[in-house]
Structure formats: structure tokens, C-alpha cells
Amino acid sequence: MKGYFAKRLGYMLITLFVIVSITFFLMQLLPGTPFTDPEKLSEQQLELMNEKYGLNQPVAIQYVNYVRSLVTGDLGISYQYEGRSVNEILSERIGPSALIGFQALVFGALAGLALGIISALHHNSFLDYGSVTIAVLGMSIPSFVFAALMQYFIGVKLGWLPAALWQGYEYTIMPSLALSVTVIATVARFIRTEMLEVLGQDYILTARAKGISEKAVVFRHIVRNAIIPVVTMLGPLAVAIMTGTLVIEKIFSVPGLGEQFTKSVLVNDYSVIMGVTLMYSALFIGVVFIVDILYGVIDPRISIKGEHKL
């Protein structure tokens, strides 16, 4: 077990290093300078500024310098927010993104689970068609459309929840709900399909034949077996949420990471681009790792002991 963890950790670090290196060199190909409003800078002023920020050095040296400070945990100083450290920007911005992402994932998974179970247990009934319709809508309509509609109807017309801004817990509800729509739909569809398959298995027949209560059959045998593919879905879903936040955050004015990422790319804020890329990659790799571990917990057939794996 320990060996497996160490090995996975090693691979994760190598992957991150490769991502950092590739991003660093690709970023150098972006046109322009990291200084906003270049239209107003004379060539002389630009030279002075390049010198101050070490941008007149060869790319290789800049790369070595970057990696060197990265190892000590220093992500550098932002260009668009003069003097502010990237570490500080990221730690401030990740909170709101993580909060709405986490709420969306938990709520979406639970709601999807409930919807999928109801749908499968009442196969081909009115309830089933209803939940399938919801799922299809949720899959096919992008979350930002829901976001805009919710903002207008719930926020402006009904006034039940604040339309936007970030001033307290009630401000997190609509962005989380908007983000969770995809999760609900995906999870519901998967659970339904899996449950229908499990329902037809011989061991369910056996369990029922043994006279186990219906509740026990459903939860111990059907749901537990049906849930495995959902766990495999959580990884990609978490990633979908991370990318989904880019738009949702902008619509609801959430001071999160997603908007920061797109903006930093647009204005060539090199150090922030690197920092956010690193963070997203680490999150993604981390999620994949956790999902791998969860398999073992949920499905006893999958073991993570053996060195023969991987």
C-alpha cells in the first residue's frame, strides 16, 4: 500500500513538472507583453520595464529561475496586480471556486442519485419518464444558460435569492445550483442504467428468493453495485465543474479562480497563468488519484495492494 502511494505520488510530481515546463515555453509564444495598456508605453519605457522584471533575459534562464523559486513554493509576483504575490492571489481566489464546486458536486451527486434510483425502481412509469426528461435537459442545456435564467427569474423577478455578488452564504446557492445541473443529469442517467442492469442480475433474484426485505435488497445489493460507475464519473465531473466555474463565476460575480485564469491569459500575466495552470493540474491529478483509491473502497474486487498494477 505504502509503495503504491509513493509510486503514484512520484508520477504525479513528474506529470506536474512536465505540465509546468510545457506551459512555460508555450506561454513565451504568446504575442505581447505582460504589461497592460502597451499602446501607451514607449519603447524606451518598455525596455526599462523588461529589465526591471527580468524579461530581457533568455527564456532558458527565466525558466531556470522560475523552477528554482517554484521549488521553494514561491509562484512569483503578478503583473496585472502590481506587487501582489501569486500565492496570495490563488489562496484568496480558490476558496469561492472550491465552495461552489464542492456544493455543486455533493448536491448534484445526491440529487442525481435519488433521481436515478426513483427512475429505475419505477421503470417505464410516469416518474421514470419525468426524471429521464430532466436528465436529458440537464445534459443538453449548458449550465450558463441555467445560470442566466435562474439569475433573471429567481434573482430579479421573484427576488428569492440575491441575483449576483459575493456577500454571504445565500450568494453561493444559485451558482452552486447552476453548476450542479450537469452533475445531476449525468449521475441520474448512469445510476438508472446501472440499476436496471443490476436489477436483472441473478443475485438479485437470489437475494429476493432468500426473503431479504426489499429495503435491504435495494440498498445493500442494487445501489451499492450500481454506484461503482458513478464513482468513475466523479473524476470527470469534478473536472467539468472546474471548467464550468469559468462562466458561472463571471455570471454571478463570484471572486473565484476561473475568471482569473481566462483574464490572466488574455493580459499575459505570466506568473498567474503558471500558478493557475499548476493549481488546476494538481487538482485534476489529485481527483484522479482519489477516484482510484475510492474504487478499492467501494468495489472489493479491485485491489490496490499489488505492485503488478499500474
Partner 1 sequence: MAMVVLVLTGCNFDSAKETDSNSNKNKETSEGKQVLNMVEASEIPTMDSAHAHDNVSFTVLSNVNEGLYRLGKEHKPELAMASDDQISEDGLVHTFTLRDANWSNGEPVTAADFVYAWQRVFKETGHYASMFETASILNATEILEGKKPVEELGVKALDEKTLEVTLAKPAPLLGQLLTFPTFLPQNQKFVESQGKKYALEASNVIYNGPFMLSEWKHDTSWKYKKNPDYWDADNVTLAEINVFVVKEAATQLNLYETKEVDSINLSSASVDQYQDNKDFMSIADSEIFFLRFNHNHKALGNENIRRAIDMSWDKKAHVETILNNGSLPLYGLVPKDFSSSPDGKGFRELNGDFNHGTIKEAQKYLAKGLEEIGQDSVKVTLTVSAVEGNDKTAEYLKSQIEKNLPELSVDIKLVPVEQRYELESAKEYDMVISAWGPDYIDPMTYIGMWVTDGSANRMDYSNTDYDALVEKINNENDPAKRYQMMLDAEKMLFEDAAIAPLYQRGLAVLQRSNIKGLVRHPSGPDFSFKWTRIEGK
Could you list the residues that contact partner 1 (CB under 8 A)? 30-33, 35-45, 48-49, 51-52, 80-84, 89, 92-96, 98-99, 101-102, 148, 151-152, 155-156, 159, 162-172, 250-253, 255, 259-260, 268, 282-283, 285-287, 289-290
Distance CA(25)–CA(280), nearest Å, equals 18
CA dihedral 69, 74, 76, 77 (to 10 degrees): -150
Give least dist CB 233 to partner 1, A: 15
Closer Cβ to partner 1, 162 or 275, answer by number:
162
Nearer to partner 1, 104 or 115 (CB): 104
Is the Cβ of residue 38 or residue 201 nearer to partner 1 in the bound state?
Answer: 38
CB nearer to partner 1: pick between 45 and 125: 45
Toward partner 1, which CB reaches closer, 18 or 205?
A: 18
Closest separation between CB of residue 96 and partner 1, Å? 6
Write down the least CB distance from residue 192 to partner 1, Å: 26
CB of 256 to partner 1, least distance (A): 8
Please report how the helices 2-27 and 270-298 are oriented relative to each other, as an axis angle in degrees rounded to 10: 150
Q: How far is the CB of 299 from partner 1 (least distance, A)?
A: 19
Nearest distance, CB of residue 11 and partner 1, angstroms: 14
Is the Cβ of residue 57 or residue 253 nearer to partner 1 in the bound state? 253
> Do the beta carbons of residue 302 and residue 296 sit within 8 Å?
yes
Query: How many residues does this entry show for the chain?
Result: 310
* Smallest distance from partner 1 to CB 232, Å: 15
In this structure, are residues 167 and 94 in contact, taking their beta carbons and an 8 Å threshold?
no
Contacts of 137 (CB under 8 A, 6+ apart): 185
β-partners of residue 137 are none
CB nearer partner 1, residue 98 or residue 127: 98
